[in-house]
Amino acid sequence: MPRVFIAADIYKKNEIQRIQQELITSLGLDRKNLKLVGQENFHFTFGEINNSMLDTIVTKISEVDFQSFEIKYDMIGAFPNNTCAKVIWIGLDEETKSAFNQMAQIVLSNLADLDIKIEKEIIPHITLFRIRRVALNLNLHNFMSNYTLIDKIDTISVKKSATTTEGPVYENIITVKGK
């Protein structure tokens, strides 16, 4: 069964990919130990949803009313943390993070009466790559000082992910445009 999730789409995918490549080079990482996210798959995820409720969720998402807004990428981070990094991501500055979380609350409030497990507190991020095999101890604290990148969020989508030998391929089931 394919993975289905709710996401906010972005535009500056080429620039995010450039940051991804510069980060790999700057950290001296071996690409064979990384699973890179392709630029076509860069997005902000609100959470996975249950396929059995897909029709209801698509209806609820189609009713979401939100304002488009600019975002500013501001930091590089790691999950679970910098000393045991398994996932490397790019995040937002504090002001943009606040605007993102306000929009997320609008989306989540439309789904509140459904029995779904979406994160209550979303850390807005775009996954750049995953570390294969062993977690790394990375010093990521100074990376965003070199980057200033403004983007826009004006669509929310319900996406379906199909797994292929080349990696996941995402398809939008529904896309809602902000005002």
The secondary structure of residue 38, as a DSSP letter, is P
Of the CA atoms within 13 Å of residue 46, those in its CB half-sphere come to 29
| pLDDT tens string 23-70 | 899 888 888 889 999 999 999 998 888 788 889 989 999 999 999 999
Architecture of the domain made up of 3-177: Alpha-Beta Complex (3.90)
SS3 of 110, please?
helix
Per the confidence metrics, is the pTM higher than 0.85? yes
| pLDDT tens string 152-166 | 999 999 999 888 887
